[in-house]
């Protein structure tokens, strides 16, 4: 459900409305244009915004401008200031089981970026999380850790991250054979006696990463396959983008319900914190380690087709393509965008309808790859 309530000049009186998103399918070599995406969004009423030429970020007064300390730098994952001591440290990409039996999760609140992807076409298309963590030395417990899929190998490579998992189907083998994907750790982490079956007991505990990196001679710092610069196009730290002012077309998005049937993922905007709070299985997702609700400043939803690899439900998202459709959510507002990933290791980039790279707010980001055959079931309120 979409209500467009932002903008300074209305073209018509406010009407109640429901908006279902339907945009063209993505593929490995998709060529959908932004115009295609807009023409397929149905709506009853939309307000124009004549403030597009105004400032699109809210800046702090000059005397309050943030001064970056000498011992800090702006994180390539969040755009926020963190210690220079870990500037060259590779992040990890940890595969976290998202079955209800695996709950509660530990350490997920420390992730800088969280991906949620369909893990199998079976079991109501159960999802799995991939938590990208820069400062993994401060993680006391993360998991539980489960197997990976080919798509996760591709996405982890964008960050030059060390993929942490527990096995996976043979479909992974061709990817792990590539030089850029060889640095991964599988099934080598600690076991915790939590009273559950063995498959739910593996966690990354404090010290695990350092010991296993040394054991398997994996570089803890960025290597020759790392992409340069920040992953996202962040606004300057201390400012925030205002989607209503920057774009003529934007939509209210105080809550988004995703078509992940097994766990019912939703993200709800908390106006007091300015964050989207993640829920699943009809409950807020609370990190057992910190008690924090899993929350994000940015939410990105990518429409993406997939290929089922065998009768067991294993799959790969067709996540290499151009001109594919997506949504960006921040501060209770959604903007229709497109995404591009040009190669296996290339960073996924996001663009607005003007062909300009999307600016996003600094902070944590949630990214979901929504199967193209359920894209029209994404619901905003």
The answer to whether residues 347 and 220 touch, using CB atoms and an 8 Å cutoff, is no
**380: three-class secondary structure by DSSP:** strand
Tell the residue number behind the tokens 């294993």, with chain if given. 314
39 membership: H or E segment, kind and range: helix 34-39
- Of all helices (H) and strands (E), which one includes residue 176? helix 173-176
**CATH homologous superfamily for the domain 78-215:** YerB-like (3.50.90.10)
- The answer to whether residues 79 and 234 touch, using CB atoms and an 8 Å cutoff, is yes
- Looking at the predicted structure, is the pLDDT value of residue 145 above 50? yes
Q: What is the pLDDT confidence band of residue 143, given thresholds at 50, 70 and 90?
A: very high
As a dihedral over the C-alpha atoms of residue 331, residue 333, residue 336, residue 342, rounded to 10 degrees, the angle is 10
User: What pLDDT is attached to residue 57?
Assistant: 52
Stretch among 32-41, 141-150, 350-359 having the lowest mean pLDDT:
32-41
Residues of the chain with CATH 3.50.90.10: 78-215
pLDDT at 66: 84
pLDDT reported for residue 221: 97
pTM greater than 0.75 (yes/no): yes
Mean pLDDT of 344-354: 95
Unique residue bearing structure tokens 């018509």: 12
Structure tokens that stand for 358 in this block: 């999307």
Tokens standing for residue 306: 């997939």
The average pLDDT across 339-344 equals 95
Share of the chain above pLDDT 70, in %: 83
* More confident site: 52 or 119: 119
Percent of the chain with pLDDT over 90: 75
- The whole-number pLDDT of residue 45 equals 28
CA distances from 246 to 98, 271, 323, 352, 380 (A): 36, 20, 21, 11, 20
Asked if 155 and 93 count as a contact pair (C-beta separation under 8 A), the reply is yes
Whether 1 has a pLDDT exceeding 50, the answer reads no
Task: Compute the chain's Rg from CA coordinates.
Answer: 20
Residue 65's pLDDT is what? Answer: 75
Q: Which of 16-30, 135-149, 226-240, 270-284 has the lowest mean pLDDT?
A: 16-30
Q: Are 167 and 147 in contact (CB under 8 A)?
A: yes
Q: What is the mean pLDDT of residues 217-226?
A: 96
Q: State the pLDDT confidence band at 230, using cuts at 50, 70 and 90.
A: confident
Query: How many Å apart are CA 150 and CA 169, to the nearest integer?
Result: 9
Question: For residue 176, which phi and psi values (nearest 5 degrees)?
Answer: -65, -20
Q: Is pLDDT of 23 > 90?
A: no
The number of C-alpha atoms within 13 Å of 73 and in the hemisphere containing its C-beta is: 12
The candidate with the shortest Cα–Cα distance to 332, out of 272, 283, 271, is 271
């Amino acid at each position: 459900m979409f209500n467009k309530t932002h903008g300074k000049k209305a073209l018509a009186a406010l009407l109640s409305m429901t908006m279902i998103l339907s945009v063209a399918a993505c593929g490995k070599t998709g060529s959908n244009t932004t115009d295609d995406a807009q023409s397929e969004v149905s709506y009853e009423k939309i307000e124009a915004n004549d403030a597009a030429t105004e400032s699109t970020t809210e800046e702090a007064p000059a005397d309050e401008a943030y001064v970056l300390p000498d011992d800090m730098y702006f994180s390539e994952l969040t755009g926020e200031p963190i210690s220079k001591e870990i500037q060259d440290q590779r992040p990890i990409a940890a595969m976290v089981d998202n079955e209800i039996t695996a709950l509660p999760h530990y350490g997920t609140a420390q992730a800088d970026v969280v991906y949620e992807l369909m893990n199998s076409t079976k079991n109501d298309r159960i999802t799995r999380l991939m938590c990208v963590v820069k400062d993994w030395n401060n993680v006391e417990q993360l998991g539980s850790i489960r197997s990976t899929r080919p798509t996760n190998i591709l996405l982890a490579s964008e960050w030059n991250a060390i993929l942490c998992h527990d096995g996976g189907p043979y479909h992974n083998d061709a990817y792990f054979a590539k030089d850029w994907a060889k640095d991964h750790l599988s099934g080598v982490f600690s076991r915790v006696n939590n009273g559950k079956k063995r498959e739910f007991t593996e966690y990354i505990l404090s010290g695990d990463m350092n010991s296993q990196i040394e054991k398997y001679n994996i570089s803890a710092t960025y290597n020759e396959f790392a992409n340069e610069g920040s992953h996202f196009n962040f606004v300057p730290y201390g400012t925030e983008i205002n989607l209503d002012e920057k774009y003529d077309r934007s939509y209210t998005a105080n809550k988004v319900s995703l078509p992940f049937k097994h766990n019912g993922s939703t993200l709800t905007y908390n106006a007091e914190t300015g964050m989207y709070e993640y829920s699943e299985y009809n409950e807020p997702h609370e990190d057992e380690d910190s008690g924090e609700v899993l929350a994000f400043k940015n939410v990105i939803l990518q429409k993406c087709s997939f290929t089922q690899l065998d009768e067991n439900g294993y799959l790969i998202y067709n996540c290499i393509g151009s001109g594919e459709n997506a949504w960006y959510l921040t501060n209770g507002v959604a903007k229709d965008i497109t995404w591009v990933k040009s190669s296996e290791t290339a960073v996924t980039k996001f663009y607005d309808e003007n062909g300009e790279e999307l600016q996003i707010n600094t902070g944590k980001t949630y990214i979901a790859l929504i199967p193209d055959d359920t894209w029209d079931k994404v619901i905003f309120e």
